[in-house]
Amino acid sequence: MSGDERHGLTVARLCRSFGGLQVLRDVGFRLDPGRVVGLIGPNGAGKSTLINCVTGVLAPDGGDIWLSGSRATGRSPDDLCRGGLSRTFQHARLLEHLTVLDNVLVGAHVRGRVGIVAAALRLPSVRHEEIRLRECAVRALDLVGCGHLADTPAHALTTGQQRLVSVARGLAGDPRFVLLDEPAAGLDDTETGALADALRQVAAGDVGLLIVEHHLELIMELCDEVLVLAGGGVVASGPPAMVRDHPAVVDAYLGTPL
Amino acid sequence: MTRVDGLVAQRRGRSAASATPPSWRAPVALGLMAAVAPVALGSWVIPLLVPVAISSVSAVGLSLLVGRAGLISLGQGALTGVGAFTAASVSVRLGAPPELALCAAVVAGGAVACALTPFLRLSGLYLSLATLVLALMFQRIAVLAEPVTGGADGVAMEGSLRLGFLDVSGETTFYAVAWAAVIVTGVLVANVQRSRIGRSFEALSVGEDLARSVGVRVTKAKSTAFVISGLCSGLSGGLYAYYNQFLTPEQFSVGQSIVLLAAVIVGGPRSPWGGVVGLVVLQVLPEAVDLGSDREALLTPLLLLVFAGFLPQGLVAAAVTGLGRLWRLGPLAHPSRSVVTTGPSERTADER
C-alpha cells in the first residue's frame, strides 16, 4: 500500500444491483485529502447509490472501499463517520424546532466522549465538552457563511440557508472526507457562490470532497477532477476541461458541448 | 488545531460558543407550585397529587423517548409494574430496607428496558408494537409469577417508606418526597437532553440514516433512551408500591401506559415537565370539576386526539409561546422586545 492510499478514500470495482437491475458496474475513483472530485450524470445514473454504498448505507455486491488505509467495505455508516467520512443528504433534514447552532451541534456528536452518568449530573467534564463542541459548531457555521444565523430557529431559514447549514452539520464532526449530495440544489446564485467559497476553504484545510451535483458550472469551476456516471458505469473521468468535451459525456449526459 | 477548526480564525467572542446554562426556572416553579398547592387549595389536593407525582416520575422518562427520540412506548405501565413488584419482593420477601427496595425497583425497571435491546432494531410501528406486547404480557406474567408477585391476589407491603431518618408514612411527607423525586428526575433528564447524548436522540427523530451519518450508534442510543425511561418507571413503581401498600397485576395495565403517553403528548413531549402538566390535566381536573366517571373515561382519549392532531407541541410549549407573545406585545414590553425577532426568545419550552 502506497503512502497516498493510507491517506485517501479509494473505491475499486464497486457493483450493486437491485433485483435484476444493475445500478453500479465496476465503479472506481480515488479521493485524496485536499482534492475536490465532482460526480455528475443523468438521473438514474447511480450517483446516490454510489454515495450510499461508500458511506455504508447500502452494502455493495462487489468491489472494495478503503478509507485512510483501512478496509471500509461493509462497515456501518456510524463507524465510517468516526473514521472521518461524513456526508450530506439531498434534503437538508434539519430539526426545525432547534436553532441553527443546535442543528450543527448534532453533527459534532462524533467529537464528544462523555457518558450518560456525567451528562445526567452535568459534571464539569460535560460543561467543558459542550463549550468545545459549540466552538466547533460555530466555526463550521462561520465556514459556510452562516455564523450570523446561529441563534435563528431552523424553521425560519430559506431553502438555501438550510442547505448551507446542513453542509455545516456535515463539517462539524471534523471529517477527512465529505460526500455532498447535491449541495447547491435550491440555492440562488449568491448562495451558490458562498457555497463554492466555503467548499474551497474546506478543501484547502486538507479535506477531500466528493460533490454530486447537477449544477455543472459549479462542478467545472470547483473540482480538480470530474467523474461522469451513466448507466451505472464511469463513462469519463479527468480534469473538468477534458471531461466537458469528452464525446461520451456529450452523448450520455450533456447533450450539447458546454 | 483540527482540520475544520484551523480554517477559520476565531473572529469574535460569541455567546453561542459557551455551554447552555442550566435553566432552573421550570423545576423551581414546579417545586413552588407543589409546595403552595396544599396551602392555597386545601389539603384535599394531596391525595389527588401524590398519584400524579408518582406517575410523573415515569412520564419524565417517557418524554425523552417520545419527544426527543421520536419513539412511542406503550410499555411504561409494565415497567412501572416491574419496579413496584420488585420493591415489594425485595421488601417483603427479603426484608430489605426501603432505600434498598427503591434502588432495586429502579435497577429492575432499567434492566427490563435494557432487555428490550434486541427489539430496538425494529423501527416505527413495529417497535411500538413490541412495547405493546410487553405491556399485554406483563399482567399475565405477573399472575403466573405468584411466588414473587402474589399472583392474581396481589401482595401487601410490610411497613411504610423510610428514607434514612425520614419517616415517609404520612401522606403530607409522601407528597413532599414524591414531588422531590419528580423534580430530581426531571432535572437529571433535562441535563441528558441538553447534552450530546440528548442531541443523538434528536438525530434519531429525524431518521436513523441521519443519526448514523453523524456517528450515532443507533441501537445503543435507542437502548440508552429506553433504559433511562425504564429507570424512571422503576422508581415510579417503587414509590407506588410504598404509597399504595397493596399491589395487584391489574394496576399495571395497558391503559396506564396509554394514560402516560397521553399525558406526555398533552403536556408537551419535548419538555421533561410536559408529562407532569399532562397528568395534572388528565387526572386532577376531572376530579376537581367532578366530571363523572363516564366523561372522565372519555377525556383522556379525546384530549390525546385533539393534541396529537392540532397542538402537537403540547400545553407547556403553547403556554410559553403565548406568554412570550403577550410579554412582547404588552404595555410593559421593552421597545426592542416589541419587534418579533427570530432570536433565542423564540425557542420552544424545552429549551427553557
Say if A1-84+175-257 and A93-174 have the same CATH topology: yes
Residue at B266 is within a domain: no
Residues pairing with B248 in the sheet: none
Cell of B240: 407506588
Distance of CA B351 to the CA centre of its chain: 16
Cell of B19: 455551554
Interval A85-112 mean pLDDT: 94
Instruction: For the sheet with A233-238, list strands across it.
Output: A85-87, A177-181, A208-212, A36-40, A225-230, A233-238
Rounded-to-integer distance, Cα B60 and Cα B77, Å = 13
Q: Is A101 in Cβ contact with B16 (below 8 Å)? A: yes
Q: What is the rounded radius of gyration, in angstroms, for the C-alpha atoms of chain A?
A: 19
Q: What is the pLDDT along chain B (352 residues), one digit of tens a residue?
A: 445 544 444 434 444 445 555 578 889 999 999 999 999 988 889 999 999 999 999 999 999 999 999 999 999 999 999 999 999 999 998 989 999 999 999 999 999 999 988 888 877 788 889 999 999 999 999 999 988 888 888 999 988 888 888 888 889 999 999 999 999 999 999 999 999 999 999 999 999 999 999 999 999 999 999 999 999 999 999 999 999 999 999 999 999 999 999 999 999 999 999 999 999 999 888 877 777 777 777 888 888 888 888 888 899 888 888 887 877 766 545 444 333 333 333 344 344 3
Size of interface A-B (CB pairs under 8 A): 157
* CB distance B155 to B247 below 8 Å: yes
Closest Cβ opposite residue B6 in set A76, A116, A205: A205
* pLDDT at residue A168 in the model: 95
Residue at B345 is within a domain: no
ipTM of the predicted structure?
Answer: 0.90
Could you tell me if A182 lies within 8 Å of chain B, comparing CB atoms? no
CATH dotted code for A1-84+175-257: 3.40.50.300
- Kindly report the nearest CA distance between residue A88 and chain B, in angstroms: 8
Q: How many domains does chain B have?
A: 1
Q: Specify the length of chain B in residues.
A: 352
Residue at B305 is within a domain: no
Residue at B268 is within a domain: no
* pLDDT at residue B265 in the model: 94
Residue at B344 is within a domain: no
In Å, how far are A161, A229, A248 from A245, measured between CA atoms? 34, 15, 9
Closest Cβ opposite residue A119 in set B2, B192, B205: B192
DSSP secondary structure string for all residues of B25-64: HHHHHHHHHHHHHHHHH-TTHHHHHHHHHHHHHHHHHHHI
pLDDT digit string, tens, across residues A6-59 = 679 999 999 999 988 999 999 999 999 999 999 998 888 899 999 999 999 999
Domain that holds residue B233: 25-252
Q: Specify the length of chain A in residues.
A: 258
Residue at B150 is within a domain: yes
Could you tell me if A123 lies within 8 Å of chain B, comparing CB atoms? no
Say whether B298 sits in a helix, a strand or coil: helix
Q: Assign domain A93-174 one CATH number from 3.40.640.10, 3.40.50.300, 3.40.50.2300, 3.40.50.620.
A: 3.40.50.300
* Domain segments of chain A as ranges: 1-84+175-257, 93-174
